Amino acid sequence: MSPAAPGPGSLADLTGHELAERFASGAATAVQATEAALERIAATDERLHAFLIVTGDQALEAAGEVDAARERGERLGPLAGVPLALKDVLVTKGVRTTAGSRILEEFVPPYDATVVRRLREAGVVILGKTNMDEFAMGSSTENSGFGPTRNPWDTDRVPGGSSGGSAAAVAAGQAPLGIGTDTGGSIRQPAALCGIVGVKPTYGLVSRYGLIAFASSLDQVGPFARDVRDAATLLETIAGHDPMDSTSIPDVPVDCTSRLTDGVDGLRVGVVKELFLEGTEPGVLARVREGLERLERLGARLEECSLPSFEYALSAYYLIAPAECSSNLARYDGVRWGLRAKDSADVVDMMQRTRQAGFGAEVKRRVMLGTYALSAGYYDAYYGQAQKVRTLVRRELDDAYQRFDLLVGPTAPTVAFPIGEKADDPLAMYLNDVFTIPVNLAGNAAVSVPAGLSDGLPVGLQLIAPALGEATMLRAAWAFEQDLGLSTRPVSHEEVRS
């Protein structure tokens, strides 16, 4: 299915800041924008399956409250009234939250995650909860317990993962903004495959309170948007210290927008040799190298650098993340909440049956890998060694930032691949995150920004910053985006529906 521009004039096709300008001028209301988003979801989601639940009535009520506040002359935030798609891994009070797993199919949380609370306080209109790889374990959103999500650029292909539902929703015009989580690339990789902007913030910059954990030392919440300005504004909205999260960074001012338009002139950018691996698709490499030339023309000073530990990051990640997953998912035992298997002989049988029925194949695979890596006699040989590699990755990045302001490379080695192509080959699937994983191990910040098309499908350029370097990173991403001027959009809702 070939890409085509959506119909002109629809509020569903505007960015968040374009909607905000219309709200301020009286040309549109939050209710109208929400209605347009809900209409787009109704027209496209039977095919895309980006959403697991659409909270239309709640969204319209929230939008109406924003419009009423605006009429009263209240001072509102820059995203007040703008619709958003929320990954179903953040708990929402009174609204089912599944993490893409059958084991939580009927779980209705009694409270909001901190990120959700901050979005509501900012007047952002939450449209519903989006599909994802189960417990955020995957790179294609094919591992969801509720069926795969499809890429709006080509509905026979994956949107990436694990935050594929939010990425597809933003790309398809179902919402101008989205929230995802990134444990090993799960914001940046789907952003690249769906042709949008995705930000993995510094670990601890955004609260994880109310985030259903996969790997607690790696998980981080971040924004999706159609352009860098919206992504920066959304990051400012959700970031900041949270006393409910022990890993939250205290007393750090979050300013991603005041210098967004300052350009890249004079920035020192390291081109990471290990991010240009054999096996990367030629079209991806071509667009990324064109992107490097663009940055240089804009005034950035580029120089190749080598980070040898990146070669071992993937292996280290697939020991550390499953180990933490094994520990975190032990709580799903059929006793306290979630699924409970019936007709069990005893409590042990009940736990076994519950986990067998509730967890999908990829979750079971990672739980077993992690349990093995943590077991007596193997801990030092596997998990301990992986943590040493993690330390090397962090140290090499710290050293690199003595020379460079930013690092750069591809976001993903391929464009979106056909649904089912890698589903039965875990190693091939894991390699989709080979360029994104080192950032998570180090806890640094990174963004994927659209860099053009290869065979009609989007390619992402990844900019990597030191911890708390989001302002410089987004400034470079904005300059690149504005100079490239990429206006191509995926298929219209009429084509998706057909």
pLDDT, one tens digit per residue, over 78-125 is 999 999 999 999 999 999 999 999 999 999 999 999 999 999 999 999
pLDDT, one tens digit per residue, over 347-368 is 999 999 999 999 999 999 999 9
The pLDDT score that the predictor gives to residue 6 is: 38
Residue 435 token pair: 């360029």
Boundary residue ending a domain (321, 353, 381): 381
Residue 3 pLDDT exceeds 80: no
Residue 2 pLDDT exceeds 50: no
Does the residue 77 lie in any domain?
yes
Considering the domain architecture, whether residues 359 and 491 belong to the same structural domain is answered as no
The pLDDT score that the predictor gives to residue 496 is: 63
Higher pLDDT, 405 or 491: 405
The pLDDT score that the predictor gives to residue 298 is: 98
Range of the domain at 359: 310-381
Does the residue 1 lie in any domain?
no
Does the residue 111 lie in any domain?
yes
Considering the domain architecture, whether residues 374 and 448 belong to the same structural domain is answered as no
Grade residue 7 by pLDDT with cuts at 50, 70 and 90.
very low
Residue 463 backbone dihedrals phi, psi, to 5 degrees: -110, 130
Considering the domain architecture, whether residues 266 and 337 belong to the same structural domain is answered as no
The Cα 421–Cα 11 span in angstroms is 35
Residue 178 pairs with which residues in a beta bridge? 85, 224
Which residue type occupies 429?
M
Considering the domain architecture, whether residues 283 and 334 belong to the same structural domain is answered as no
Considering the domain architecture, whether residues 60 and 93 belong to the same structural domain is answered as yes
pLDDT, one tens digit per residue, over 441-458 is 999 999 999 999 999 999
Does the residue 2 lie in any domain?
no
Does the residue 214 lie in any domain?
yes
**Average pLDDT in the 386-402 region?**
98
**Average pLDDT in the 56-70 region?**
98
Considering the domain architecture, whether residues 153 and 23 belong to the same structural domain is answered as yes
Residue 84 pairs with which residues in a beta bridge? 126, 177
Does the residue 386 lie in any domain?
no
Considering the domain architecture, whether residues 344 and 440 belong to the same structural domain is answered as no
Boundary residue ending a domain (339, 355, 381): 381
**How many structural domains does the chain have?**
2
Half-sphere exposure in the Cβ direction for 261 (13 Å, CA): 1
Which residue type occupies 130?
T
pLDDT, one tens digit per residue, over 155-212 is 999 999 999 999 999 999 999 999 999 999 999 999 999 999 999 999 999 999 999 9
Considering the domain architecture, whether residues 480 and 373 belong to the same structural domain is answered as no
Grade residue 343 by pLDDT with cuts at 50, 70 and 90.
confident
CATH number reported for the structural domain that contains residue 420 in this entry: 3.90.1300.10
Considering the domain architecture, whether residues 181 and 95 belong to the same structural domain is answered as yes
Grade residue 230 by pLDDT with cuts at 50, 70 and 90.
very high
Q: Is 341 helix (H, G, I), strand (E, B) or coil?
A: coil
Specify the DSSP element, H or E, that contains 272.
Answer: strand 268-272
DSSP 286-319: HHHHHHHHHHHHTT-EEEEE--TTHHHHHHHHHH
Residue 9 pLDDT exceeds 70: no
The pLDDT score that the predictor gives to residue 492 is: 56
The pLDDT score that the predictor gives to residue 498 is: 43
Does the residue 6 lie in any domain?
no
Considering the domain architecture, whether residues 334 and 442 belong to the same structural domain is answered as no
Grade residue 252 by pLDDT with cuts at 50, 70 and 90.
confident
pLDDT, one tens digit per residue, over 16-35 is 999 999 999 999 999 999 99
Residue 209 token pair: 């309170």
The set of catalytic residues is: 87, 162, 186
Boundary residue ending a domain (324, 351, 381): 381
Closest by Cα among 51, 24, 246, 162 to 440: 162
Residue 242 pLDDT exceeds 60: yes
The pLDDT score that the predictor gives to residue 490 is: 81
Residue 489 pLDDT exceeds 80: no
Q: What is the pTM of this model?
A: 0.96
Residue 128 pLDDT exceeds 70: yes
**Exposure class string for 116-132: b at 16+ Cβ within 10 A, else e:** bbbbbebbbbbbbbbbb
Does the residue 446 lie in any domain?
yes
Q: Is 60 helix (H, G, I), strand (E, B) or coil?
A: helix
Considering the domain architecture, whether residues 170 and 318 belong to the same structural domain is answered as no
Residue 87 backbone dihedrals phi, psi, to 5 degrees: -60, 135
Residue 257 pLDDT exceeds 90: yes
Considering the domain architecture, whether residues 111 and 205 belong to the same structural domain is answered as yes
* Average of per-residue pLDDT values in the chain: 95
Grade residue 131 by pLDDT with cuts at 50, 70 and 90.
very high
